[in-house]
């Protein structure tokens, strides 16, 4: 029984290596050098776009991250940095970016409406924060820190393939030119997300736009497309659920606003899941 299980796991690993990752990496190697600048720009842009997306999602779903924004930022930077350090190493794990991110978004969305959310209070006893209570004891504090560390680590893992994708493409041209395209892509990703924020768009729109930006790298890989489609479908379905029918979330350019309707009382507005 154990041998059969090990054999099945081995077959899955071989399938992933050959049918998904190897094919994807080979497709990247076939990119024409005359167009490599455009591909570097897109790869870098989507990395920064998704980074800003996750920073906003973290702080929107949990007020704790609204106060600890550097946690999300450093997590993304760590993942991208590790990815850039991989450079010429093969294979490139781009097909798993959206499945990993979609799982994170779904879990955070569900936890926001769970009994865990009220437990995520300020773990720093010496620092007061508006809208967040202090943790009550050591166990509570360790729980909050454990949650933050878990999100930090998992989020960093999500961004390693994005950094690797950009750096892998950058090795195909001279350093100065590749850094120039990298800079253009970075600015493009930031500007695009800023525009979407100004339009008060919700996380689902951000995720779909990020998917569209990543599709050019995956369209030749059928399994990658299937994984991407499944990820978008899962995020769309889950984020469309409403666990509190009397509430409505509005994503302003700066933060999340939650409008709560009650039959016999005036509506209440919450910012970052805290009373306004």
Closest CA to 57 of 129, 109, 126: 109
Closest CA to 24 of 216, 220, 226: 220
Q: Which residues contact 21 (CB under 8 A, 6 or more apart)?
A: 91, 92, 93, 95
Residue 189's alpha-carbon distances to 38, 52, 53, 193, 194, in angstroms, are: 13, 9, 10, 6, 9
Burial class of residue 180 (count of CB atoms within 10 Å of its CB; 0-12, 13-18, 19+) = middle
CA distance 263 to 274: 21
- Tell me the per-residue pLDDT of 11-49, one tens digit each, with 9 for 90 and over: 555 556 666 888 888 889 989 888 999 999 999 999 999
| Burial state string for 31-50 with b = 16 or more CB within 10 A and e = fewer than 16 | eeeeebbebbbbbbbbbbbb
| Per-residue pLDDT of the chain in tens (276 residues, 90 and over written 9) | 555 555 455 555 555 666 688 888 888 998 988 899 999 999 999 999 999 999 999 988 888 887 787 899 999 999 999 999 998 898 999 999 999 999 999 999 999 888 888 788 777 765 555 566 777 788 888 998 999 999 999 999 999 999 999 999 999 999 899 999 999 999 999 999 999 999 999 999 999 999 999 999 988 888 888 889 999 999 999 998 888 778 888 888 878 888 887 777 777 777 766 654
Q: Which residues pair with 275 in a beta bridge?
A: 270
- Tell me the per-residue pLDDT of 31-41, one tens digit each, with 9 for 90 and over: 988 899 999 99
CA distance 16 to 24: 11
**pTM of the predicted model as reported, rounded to 2 decimal places:** 0.89
| Residue 45 contacts residue 167 (beta carbons within 8 Å) | no
Domain range summary for the chain, segments of one domain joined by +: 18-243
For residue 122, the 8-state DSSP code is B
């Amino acid at each position: 029984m154990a041998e059969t299980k090990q054999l099945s796991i081995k077959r899955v690993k071989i399938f992933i290596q050959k049918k998904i990752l190897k094919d994807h990496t080979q497709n990247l190697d076939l990119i024409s050098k005359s167009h490599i600048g455009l591909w570097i720009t897109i790869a870098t842009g989507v990395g920064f776009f998704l980074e800003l997306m996750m920073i906003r999602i973290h702080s929107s779903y949990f007020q704790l991250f609204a106060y600890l924004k550097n946690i999300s930022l450093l997590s993304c930077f760590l993942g991208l940095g590790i990815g850039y350090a991989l450079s010429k190493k093969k294979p490139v794990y781009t097909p798993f970016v959206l499945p990993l991110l979609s799982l994170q978004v779904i879990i955070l969305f569900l936890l926001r409406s769970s009994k865990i959310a009220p437990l995520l209070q300020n773990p720093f006893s010496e620092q007061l924060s508006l809208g967040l209570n202090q943790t009550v004891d050591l166990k509570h504090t360790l729980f909050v820190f454990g949650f933050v560390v878990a999100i930090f680590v998992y989020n960093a893992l999500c961004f390693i393939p994005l950094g690797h994708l950009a750096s892998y493409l950058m090795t195909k041209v001279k350093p100065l030119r590749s850094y120039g395209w990298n800079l253009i892509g970075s600015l493009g990703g930031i500007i695009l997300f800023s525009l979407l924020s100004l339009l008060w768009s919700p996380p689902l729109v951000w995720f779909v736009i990020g998917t569209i930006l990543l599709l050019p790298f995956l369209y030749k890989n059928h399994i990658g497309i299937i994984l991407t489609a499944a990820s978008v479908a899962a995020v769309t379905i889950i984020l469309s659920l409403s666990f509190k029918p009397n509430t409505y979330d509005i994503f302003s350019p700066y933060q999340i606003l939650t409008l709560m309707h009650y039959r016999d009382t005036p509506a209440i507005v919450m910012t970052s899941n805290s009373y306004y």
